[in-house]
Amino acid sequence: MAKKEEERARPEKLSVYLYIPNIVGYMRVLLNCVAFAVCFSNKTLFSLLYFFSFCCDAVDGWCARRFNQVSTFGAVLDMVTDRVSTACLLVILSQVYRPSLVFLSLLALDIASHWLQMYSTFLAGKSSHKDVKDSTSWLFRLYYGNRIFMCYCCVSCEVLYIILLLIAKNQTENLLNVVVSTLTQISPLSFLLALTLFGWSMKQTVNIIQMKTAADVCVLYDIEKQQKKP
């Protein structure tokens, strides 16, 4: 009997894996694999593939809503793809620029803040990690409450990292010297760098707030659990 129920469940399980937004997610993973394979030999191709994969993040979300194919697996696949791809790019930049600790610290902050936010969401019994209406931070509420602002911050981060990779001439660049030198030039690139730097700084500020807020939720959960003990 149990075997028959399992067999009936298989097509349903397979159908979730084959949801259109999830297929887009698989394509994102494949694009990133190809991109990172050529990141040093062909920076232009890497940038195009990486940014296209990043843009597909919005496509799979649209597909999920359009075809009513929202799934937990798809949401996790989406977040894992985002975090891993950004982490890989930060590791590459840490090999190109000095001090490399800057990019490794950004990597740690990105992963820690998002992991804590997801876990605290689970503890608080919320259905989405974007539910931050009860937060005391206006910037935190603005980030998750305003899609345009959130999009600007996320795009700024990725574009900034791509620019830094493209303008690096060797693998021993001083980060501060390269950034200052580029900003002092009157060019479209310097304007784009300044624009993305502001969005990047907002994103890192949100990451810090997110990590602290999520840590507070975990601590309060422990306190409440202790108080419930007889």
Distance, C-alpha 208 to centroid of its chain: 14
Amino acid at 36: F
CA angle 126, 142, 76 (to 5 degrees): 40
Name the residue among 126, 122, 130, 133 with its Cα closest to residue 147. Answer: 130
Query: What is the rounded radius of gyration, in angstroms, for the C-alpha atoms of the chain?
Result: 20
Q: Residue 174: what are its φ and ψ, rounded to 5°?
A: -90, 120
SS3 84: helix
* DSSP letter (8 states) at residue 136: S
Catalytic residue among 57, 78, 82, 110: 82
Which residues, in sequence order, are CB contacts of 103 under 8 Å at separation 6+? 90, 91, 93, 94, 97
222 flagged as catalytic: no
Q: What is the dihedral of CA 99, 103, 151, 178, to 10 degrees?
A: 20
The Cα 22–Cα 16 span in angstroms is 8
Which residues belong to the active site?
Answer: 82
